[in-house]
Amino acid sequence: MARRFLAPSFFFFVLLLHLSVPGDAKTRDPYKVLGVDKNASQRDIQKAFHKLSLQYHPDKNKAKGAQEKFAEINNAYEILSDEEKRKNYDLYGDEKGTPVYDAGFNGGNFGNHEGYTHFTSGGPGNGWQSTGGQGNTKTFSFSFSGDPTASGNPFGFGFGDLFSRFFGGGMKSESQSGFSNFGGSKSKSASPRKIEDVNLQFFNKQIRDQGMTWLLLFYTPSAKGYDVLESVVQDVADMLDGVIKAGKINCVSEKTLCQEVGTSSSKRARLFIYSYISSDKGSLLEYTGDLDTKSLKLFCQDHLPRFSKKVEIGKNDFPSSTSEKLPQVLLLSTRKDAPAIWRVVSGLYHKRFIFYHAEVHDVSHPWLKKLGVRDLPAIMGRTVNGEQHLLGAGIAAKDLKSGVKDLKSLLESFEKKSKKATNQAKKSSETEPEGANVPLLTPSNFDDICGDKTSLCIIGAYRSSKAKEKLEKILTAISQKTLVRRQDRVISSGKSISYSLLDAAKHSSFLYSFDKSGYKSYDKLLVAYKPHRGNFAAFTGEITMEKAEEFVGSVLNGDIQLSKIRRKPVLK
């Protein structure tokens, strides 16, 4: 009776295996699947995996059996890219170190009756999942769909569109502004990295408020679930190499650090993320989700820094000037939200730059043409003194790590340029003749000089050095006088008057905000602008000290009828 009962079950089990897994047993040998020798280096394994993944990816290959082949490739790479799994496979024919009947295929861990193998047919992340028995709850999965987050691919995105996953754009090898080879460094071998051992000194110097996101595993050597958590953390750290870092804290030797997060007496391992998601100060947040690679990876991506502010293109080159005297950088990409790679550098440099990002789909937009952007993704920079630069266009990167590295180089290079421009401007101002206190309008100081809090803004616009010299002398003298017949009323009411110069040759579009002619035929003129009322008056006659004084006084006293501006003036 027992024999008749067992035989059908056995054949049904074998039939299930052949129906569910494509190919014969030989094709499941991970070395043969990837087409590499058993002595192959990690570099050779990675290259073979990348080549085959691109060839059989379901988004690219619609041939019959391509999905199954792609799944085999992912499964083989998962074994051979992990030093421990590869060693176990070489010794026992199984990645977990348990002898099995069919080398290369995990049939449920026959040495553990609580283990099982099942196939899920719906939803994201569908694929074979192998769940071990007691003490082994780690889930391995690969995807038959194009969902990048569910794939066994160690980078988590389709190879056909690498860079769009970073910024949202093409894969150009060079920028159009001289910034070339972005992400062009050669990738290194994907050999497994050890999770960093973290003590209190390391935490305070390398992690606390340094701008980088960390996965931190708090444990004791005997803690329940430690091995599983460590393996999942290692997988995610490898996938997001360059975006996050991973560390582990032994609460037996590091009691002070563990007490800080309330884990010193825990009998189980606990996982925290050190994130900047809620403020500019880093804080620890415990991860309580599912203990699988996909869930933890998504959690980490959601908790990357959010220091970059979203802006709309076409209104201003950059948002209104800020009180922070820092250079600004703007990412233009097809992505709706700030991509992970941009969020990473915004965390690392949030005390040194002001970050913005904008969604762009059409490079023919007049605003982009004016900036010189001819390809996406692109990065614009503005120095502290208002100079704008196209830092890169059509940017491409090979992977997350090299992309972050090259972005850091770009930002540091621009930071040096901004400091140099600021120092030159400071040096220039220090050499101005004594008594010259009429500033030159720039994009960064325009709101302070001619913002809505200013009652009246007197602007001397010039197109030649001779005109500048004359206007500067006249306006400096007027600004130091208590000149006007009823100026005391203006001052007593709490309002203010500002005097400034404008390089009309450099900022010709500024004057079009007042008159459709843009006053193009004048070498110099005076503009009296009332920001809070949105009206103005212009003096285009022969400018002498007496005439300029009379013009300003008449505006203040209401003796001149003012006209409405065409649009709010913006300095670019």
88 and 205 together in one domain: no
CA distance 119 to 21: 10
Q: Is residue 268 part of a domain?
A: yes
Quote helix, strand, coil % in the chain, to nearest 5: 35, 15, 50
Q: Is residue 523 part of a domain?
A: yes
Can you tell me whether residue 468 is helix, strand or coil? helix
What is the pTM for the complete model shown?
0.49
40: Cβ contacts below 8 Å, ≥ 6 apart = 31, 48, 80
Q: Is residue 476 part of a domain?
A: yes
380 and 500 together in one domain: no
- Of 211, 195, 210, 200, whose CA–CA distance to 271 is shortest? 195
32 and 153 together in one domain: yes
Tokens of 486: 């009823």
CA distance 136 to 95: 13
Q: Is residue 9 part of a domain?
A: no
Secondary structure element (H or E) that encloses residue 230, with its range: helix 226-239
DSSP 188: P
Q: Is residue 149 part of a domain?
A: yes
326 and 297 together in one domain: no
CA distance 91 to 77: 17
Can you tell me whether residue 77 is helix, strand or coil? helix
Domain end among 158, 181, 211: 158
pLDDT for 228? 80
Give residue 324's domain range.
316-420
Q: What is the CATH number of the domain that holds 271?
A: 3.40.30.10
462 and 414 together in one domain: no
559 and 466 together in one domain: yes
119 and 76 together in one domain: yes
Backbone angles phi, psi at 43, to 5 degrees: -65, -45
Domains in the chain, number? 4
Q: Is residue 308 part of a domain?
A: no
Domain end among 133, 158, 183: 158
330 and 279 together in one domain: no
86 and 147 together in one domain: yes
Secondary structure element (H or E) that encloses residue 151, with its range: none
346 and 276 together in one domain: no
Beta bridge partners of 358: 332
pLDDT in tens, the chain (572 residues): 444 444 444 444 434 444 444 444 344 789 999 999 988 888 888 888 878 887 888 777 888 888 888 888 888 888 998 888 888 888 777 766 554 443 333 333 323 333 333 333 333 333 333 333 333 333 333 222 333 333 333 333 332 233 444 555 543 333 333 333 333 333 344 445 578 999 999 999 999 999 999 999 999 888 877 878 888 898 899 999 989 999 999 999 999 888 887 877 777 889 999 999 877 788 999 999 988 888 999 999 999 999 999 988 765 556 655 556 889 999 999 888 998 899 999 999 999 999 999 998 888 888 788 778 888 899 999 888 778 888 988 888 778 888 899 999 999 999 998 888 777 766 655 554 444 578 999 888 888 889 888 889 999 999 999 999 999 999 988 887 744 433 333 333 334 789 999 999 988 889 999 999 999 999 999 999 999 889 999 999 999 988 999 999 889 888 888 999 999 998 87
Q: What is the CATH number of the domain that holds 113?
A: 1.10.287.110
Can you tell me whether residue 140 is helix, strand or coil? strand
CA distance 4 to 22: 29
Domain end among 259, 279, 302: 302
Secondary structure element (H or E) that encloses residue 532, with its range: none
Q: Is residue 492 part of a domain?
A: yes
232 and 273 together in one domain: yes
411 and 453 together in one domain: no
Q: Is residue 96 part of a domain?
A: yes
The answer to whether the CB of 31 falls within 8 A of the CB of 40 is yes
CA distance 543 to 551: 10
Based on its alpha-carbon atoms, the radius of gyration of the chain, rounded to whole angstroms, reads: 33
